[in-house]
Structure 1
Amino acid sequence: MLDASIPLKLQEIVQRELDCDERVVWSEMPKPKYFSGPALGMFLFAIPWTAFSVFWMAGAAGFKIPQFNNGEDLFPLFGIPFFLIGIGMLSSPLWAYRNSLRTVYLITDRRAITIDGGMSYTIRSYTPEKLNDTFRREHKDGTGDVIIFRNSWRDSDGDKQMQELGFLRIDDAKSIELMLKQLAEPANARERRS
């Protein structure tokens, strides 16, 4: 039961991922948003970053258009990489939106699958044994996230970082969480018996 609104390219990737007799029970794409949490934070940080880089380049040029006829006029060009980084951060909401249009979530009769798009595709498969700690974060309208796996680590500064994986920005998060728990139930029963 693959959702008809899923683009053909994603449908082909899904078909390649499925085993020959595996059946799709549920499929959905995330609701595209320009300003998801991480993209919004980066966008807000990018505003002063980019503004300062433009101001710095203008100041380095003496607030006039450089003539580039002597070596001093080349100094403002050192600000270009910082300006380009700022433009990249300002466009992060567009990239987040674009990536959500290349992402699909699946529940089959055997496992849960996420296919995350971008420049390449990342495919994560969660067998029933991996669905034990599933939980949801839900909004008042029923949309939300169903978190399947949490990955935490310490960065080079020793600060704790967290990545949550699962079905993000979906409709009816509660029923999807229930479907995942039902898929995990036979594995939980086997674990209790042993």
Structure 2
Amino acid sequence: MASSQKIPKQLRQTIEKELDRGEIVKWVEQPIAYFFSGASITAVLFGIPWTSFAVFWMWGALGFQLPNFQQGTQPEYLFALFGVPFVIIGFLMLSTPVWQWQTMRSTVYVITNKRAIMIQGSRTMVIRSFTPEQVKDVYRREKPDGSGDVILGMRRWKDSDGDTRSEEIGFVSLRNVRKVENMLRELAQIDSHNIP
């Protein structure tokens, strides 16, 4: 398997199980695992005042003093508990970089002679395959250092309010994004009906 020595054993085994007979890996790589990206920095910057205010609100609800349970449960103690979900949400926002890094470390991208494959997850895995027809309209976002993203498609859905949401699907945080885009364009030229 090309360039697979740096891929964790569990992901290598998943790739091997996913391959069809006669399918050959031409390229395999994990994304660059960043702690901080635009999305995670935004979450942290929003999470700092959110969490601070939630903690301050709970402290104020307790009368700016630690609870004294020797006097029994006071109504303000129960009132202060309403702030707990907001503190939890704040800590989740503050931990976004860790979750993002973990997601990147459990993701691998593969290009074979038949398709492109995206594998994400460690316990429960999400595996997406893209046939030659599905990679005909790829495009890339390239940074000055040559890294970037190759976008394969867009997923659209309606949220609970009925608003349309969208998410780009592709190979993100690649080291040599132009090389991967060219490989995907070569894959797109293959007639999948004639693939053995």
Q: Answer whether TM exceeds 0.5 for this pair.
A: yes
Partner of 2:176: 172
What SS is found at the alignment partner of 2:89? helix
Unaligned stretches of 5+ in structure 1?
none
Q: Distance in 2 between matches of 1:48 and 1:127?
A: 45
Asked if the contact 1:34/1:96 (under 8 Å) is kept, the reply is: yes
Question: Which structure 2 residues correspond to residues 113-192 of structure 1 after superposition, within 5 A?
Answer: 113-117=117-121, 119-187=123-191
Question: Which structure 2 residues correspond to residues 48-127 of structure 1 after superposition, within 5 A?
Answer: 48-68=49-69, 69-72=72-75, 73-117=77-121, 119-127=123-131
Q: Distance in 1 between matches of 2:111 and 2:118?
A: 9
Identity %: 45
Q: What is the CA distance between 1:89 and its match in structure 2?
A: 1.4
* Aligned-partner residue type, residue 67 of structure 2: P
Q: Distance in 2 between matches of 1:152 and 1:62?
A: 47
Aligned residue pairs, count: 189
Partner of 1:36: 37
Q: What is the CA distance between 1:81 and its match in structure 2?
A: 1.8
Calculate the aligned-residue CA RMSD, in Å. 1.8
* Aligned-partner residue type, residue 17 of structure 2: R
Q: What is the CA distance between 1:118 and its match in structure 2?
A: 5.1
Q: What is the CA distance between 1:10 and its match in structure 2?
A: 0.6
TM normalised by structure 2 equals: 0.89
Partner of 1:24: 25
What SS is found at the alignment partner of 2:191? helix
